[in-house]
Structure 1
Amino acid sequence: MRLRCAVLDDYQGVALSMADWGAVADEVDVRVVREYIGDRDRLVETIEDCEILVVMRERTPFPAELFARLPRLRLLITSGMRNASIDLEAAARHGVTVCGTASNSEPPVELTWALLLGLARGVVRENTALRTGGPWQSTVGADLYGRRLGLLGLGKIGARVAAVGQAFGMDVVAWSRNLTDERAEEAGARRAASLEDLLESSDFVSVHLVLGERTRGLIGEAELKRMRPTAYLVNTSRAAIVDQDALATALREGWIAGAGTDVFDQEPLPADHPYRSLPNLLATPHLGYVTRRNYEGYFRQAVADIAAFLAGEPVRRLG
C-alpha cells in the first residue's frame, strides 16, 4: 500500500524541483499545497489522508488539537531543527515521529543587511518615486560609517551581522543576558552594559535572539521610547520579541525613524494590518531563510528523512 505525503505551504511552487523525490517514488505519492490554509477544518480535509507531511518552518502550526484529528499521520518533517509551532509532546502521544533538516544561517544575515541598508538609504521610497515620476531625490540617507550598531543577541547569526557592521566601519555593541566580554570581543563587538544602554546609544538596533519566556515582549513601549528618534530597528528573528502594537505606535508617532521587519505575529499578514500602510516600515514576508541553497537543503533532506523512516533507520528527530 502506497503512503501519501503532502508538502504544505509551498508558496513558490518549487518543492518538487528542489530535490529528487524519485528516491521515495516507489512507496510514496507526493503532492504539494501551495496556498496557506488558515482554517483548521479545511486544513484537516486537505491532509487527513496523509501518513507523511512536510512543513516549511512555522507557517502552519501543529498544536495538540490538530494531531488528534490526523490519526493516519506517522511522520512530520519540518525545515530546520527548531519549530516552536509543533507540539512535540502531543506528536509523541499520537505516535508521530517529528524530524527536521539542517538550515543555513547566512540567508537571514543577508536579509538583515538588505533591510538595514534599505532603511538607511530610503531605497524603496526613492525607487518608487523614480518609477512613478515623483521627485528626483527626496531623502537624505543615514550614514553607517562611524555609527553605532546595537545587536540584541550575538549567536551564530548575530556574530555574522557584527562582522558586516565592522566592514562598514560601524561601532558594534551587543547585549544578551548571558553575553560575556570575552564572547563579545571574539565577535568583534563590545558588550553593552545593559539593554537600556544599548537602546539609548545605538543608531541601528538589530534583533537576533531566540524566542523564549525571557525574550517574549523584550522590546515594548518603554524600550522603544529609549531609542533615539533618528534610530532604526530591524527584526529578522521572531515577531513576539518586539511588541507589535508598540512598534506600530512608535512608527506613527516618530519615537524612532523607521523599522525593518521580516516577521509578524500573524502570517500571512492580514490585508488590513496597519503595518501595510506605515511609510517608515520596510517589511518583507518572512523571507529570511528563503534562498535557493536553503530550499535545496530542506527538500533534499526531507526526502532523505522519508527514505530513512521507510527503511526503519534513525531520522533527525526534534526534541
Structure 2
Amino acid sequence: MKLRCAVLDDFQDVALSSADWSGVGDAVDVVSHRRHFPDRDALVEAIGDCEIVVIMRERTPFPAELFARLPRLRLLITTGMRNASVDLEAAARHGVTVCGTASSSEPPVELTWALILGLARHLVRESTALRDGGPWQSTVGMDLHGRRLGLLGLGKIGTKVARIGQAFGMDVAAWSENLTPERAAAEGVGFVPSKEELLETSDVVSVHLVLGDRTRGLLGAPELRRMRPTAYLVNTSRAAIVDQAALADALRGGWIAGAGVDVFDEEPLGPEHPFRTLPNLLGTPHLGYVTRRNYEGYYRDAVEDIRAYLAGEPVRVLTAP
C-alpha cells in the first residue's frame, strides 16, 4: 500500500509540474493543496492520513500541538533549510523526521530592489494613473544616487543588496549586533555603531536579519519615529522584526514616506487588514522566494528527500539547536 503525501500551500498549482515526482510514484501518492488551511481542524482533516507532508516556507506552522494530532506523520519537508515555524523538538518526540531543501538567495535580493525602485519612483501610482486615464505625471521621484542605503543585517542577502546599492551610487551603511567594522569594510560598506544612528541617517532602510529573540520587535514605534519623514522602510525578511501596528501608525502619521513590505504577521492578509488600503505601503504577498528556479529546486529536493527517507538514509535533516 502506498504512502500518502500532501503538498501544502501550492497557491500557483505548480508543485507537481516543477519537478519529476515519478521517482517516488511507485511508493507514494502525492496530493497538492492550493488553498491555505488557516483553521487547524480543517488542516488536520485534510492531511491526517498522510505519512509525508511538504510545506512551503513558513506559510503553515507546525507547532507541538499539530504534531500531536498527526500520529501517522513520519516525514515533514520544508522548503529551505531554516523554518522557525516548525517545532523541531516536538517533531523528534513524535518520531517525525524533518528535512529541508536548498534555497537561492538571489530572488529576495531582486524583490528587495523591485520594492525600493517602486517606492522611489512611485511606480504603482504612476502606472495606475496611466492605465486609468489619470494625470500624466503627478509625482516627483527620489534619486537613489548619493542617498544613504541603511542595511539592518549584512549577511548573505544583505551583502548582495549592498552591492546593487553601490552600483546605483548610493552610500551604503550597515548595522547589526554582530557586525564588525572589519566585516563591513571588506564589503565596502560603512559601519554604523548603533541601530539608532542607522535609522536617523538613512534615506532607505532595508531589513535583512534572521528572526530570533534579539530581533523580534527590533523596530517599534520609537525606532520608526527616528527615521526621516522622507525615508522608506523595506522589509523582505520576517514580519515580526517590525512591529506591524507601529508600522501602520508610522504610515498613517507620516513618520516615514512609505514602506515596501513582502512579509506579514498574518498571511494571507485578511480582507479588512489595514495594510491592504494604506496608500504609502507598497505590498507584495510574500513573493521574495517565489521564482521558477527556486520552485524547481524546492520540489526537486523534496523528491530527493522522500527518496532518501524511503531508502533509510534521510538527507538535509533539520534538528533542534
Distance 1:282 1:57 in 2: 22
Distance 1:87 1:264 in 2: 20
Distance 1:187 1:44 in 2: 47
Distance 1:155 1:107 in 2: 15
The alignment partner of 2:234 has SS state of strand
Q: Which residue is 1:85 aligned to?
A: 85
**Alignment partner of 1:246 is 2:238:** no
Distance 1:82 1:254 in 2: 35
Q: Which residue is 2:196 aligned to?
A: 196
Q: Which amino acid aligns with 1:173?
A: A
Q: Which residue is 2:306 aligned to?
A: 306
Q: Which runs of 4+ in 1 moved over 3 A?
A: none
Distance 2:95 2:315 in 1: 15
| Count of matched residue positions in the alignment of Structure 1 and Structure 2 | 319
Shift of 1:289: 0.3
Shift of 1:314: 3.0
Stretch of structure 1 that moved more, 183-192 or 234-243? 183-192
Question: Where in structure 2 are the equivalents of 1:274-289 lying within 5 Å?
Answer: 274-289=274-289
CA RMSD of aligned residues (A): 0.5
Distance 2:237 2:210 in 1: 7
Shift of 1:185: 1.1
Q: Which amino acid aligns with 1:40?
A: R
Shift of 1:99: 0.5
Q: Which amino acid aligns with 1:80?
A: G
Q: Which residue is 2:104 aligned to?
A: 104
Distance 1:187 1:267 in 2: 34
Q: Which residue is 2:122 aligned to?
A: 122
Distance 2:281 2:218 in 1: 20
Q: Which residue is 1:207 aligned to?
A: 207
Distance 2:187 2:103 in 1: 21
Shift of 1:188: 1.7
Q: Which residue is 1:170 aligned to?
A: 170
Distance 2:286 2:186 in 1: 30
Shift of 1:215: 0.6
Q: Which amino acid aligns with 1:314?
A: P
Return 5+ residue gaps in structure 1 as ranges.
none
Q: Which amino acid aligns with 1:317?
A: V
The alignment partner of 2:143 has SS state of coil
Distance 2:34 2:93 in 1: 29
Q: Which residue is 1:72 aligned to?
A: 72
Distance 1:267 1:187 in 2: 34
Distance 1:87 1:175 in 2: 30
The alignment partner of 2:6 has SS state of strand
Shift of 1:174: 0.1
Q: Which residue is 1:24 aligned to?
A: 24
Distance 1:232 1:253 in 2: 14
Distance 2:102 2:77 in 1: 12
Q: Which amino acid aligns with 1:207?
A: V
| 1:245-300 per-position Cα deviation (integer Å, ceiling 9, x unaligned) | 00000000100000000000010011100000100000000000000110000000
Q: Which residue is 1:187 aligned to?
A: 187
The alignment partner of 1:179 has SS state of coil
Distance 1:314 1:269 in 2: 35
Q: Which amino acid aligns with 1:203?
A: D
| 1:28-86 per-position Cα deviation (integer Å, ceiling 9, x unaligned) | 00010000011111110100010000000000011111111111100000000000111
Distance 1:109 1:221 in 2: 26
The alignment partner of 2:125 has SS state of helix
Return 5+ residue gaps in structure 2 as ranges.
none
Q: Which residue is 1:42 aligned to?
A: 42
**Alignment partner of 1:13 is 2:29:** no
**Alignment partner of 1:226 is 2:218:** no
Q: Which residue is 1:161 aligned to?
A: 161
Distance 1:229 1:132 in 2: 29
Distance 1:83 1:196 in 2: 29
| 1:139-197 per-position Cα deviation (integer Å, ceiling 9, x unaligned) | 00000000000000000000000000000000000000111111101122011121111
Q: Which amino acid aligns with 2:318?
A: L
Q: Which amino acid aligns with 1:210?
A: V
Shift of 1:310: 0.5
